[in-house]
Amino acid sequence: MAVKFLDIRIFGVEHCKRQLFKGQQRVANMKPALDIVADDMMWVIGVNFSSQGRRGGGSWKRLDPHTVNQKAREGTLQRGILVASGALHDSLTQRGDKDQELEVTPYMIRLGSALPYAAVHQTGDEELGIPQRDYLKFSSRDQERWVQICEKSIMDALTK
């Protein structure tokens, strides 16, 4: 009597392997998703400027009377806190601005301003009398949205 073999074949293995490989490639290069996140970060920073820190609660410390008078003389009072020439705002919200420091790699985003006064306004300096006005302020909802952007990018790679 001849020995019989039972062959079991799993259908879809090759398709599954291709999809997983696409997912692996996407995870190895998240730059497209991180470019979207970087643009969203710049939008959030713009809202922080336009709301003068009120986004997410609180607000930036008011201008002292001397600064209010100076801005009034210069005609920049109506522009708001931290906006005289607009250079700081633009360096953090306009992709490609000459003072913007933006690097998006497959694994990270680095966003900042090359302007020498950018850091002191973000952190404040008691000795100089400059209050902290944290324009680089992101909420947990922002972070969740960025995670969803990255997750969607990976899922799209797995399903298309």
pLDDT in tens, 65-99: 888 788 788 877 777 788 888 999 999 999 999 99
Model pTM?
A: 0.84
Given this model, what pLDDT does residue 60 score? 87
- Ranges 1-15, 44-58, 95-109: which has the least confidence: 1-15
Count of residues making up the chain: 160
Q: Which residue has the higher pLDDT, 10 or 47?
A: 47
Nearest Cα residue to 109 out of 42, 48, 62: 42
Predicted local confidence at residue 64, as pLDDT: 84
Instruction: Report the chain's mean pLDDT, rounded to a whole number.
Output: 90
Which single residue is written with the structure tokens 């109506």?
78
pLDDT digits (tens, 9 = 90+) for 136-157: 999 999 999 999 999 999 999 8
- Give the residue extent of every domain in the chain: 50-159
Q: What is the share, in percent, of the chain residues with pLDDT greater than 90? A: 57
Q: 53 — alpha (psi -120 to 50), left (phi > 0) or beta?
A: left
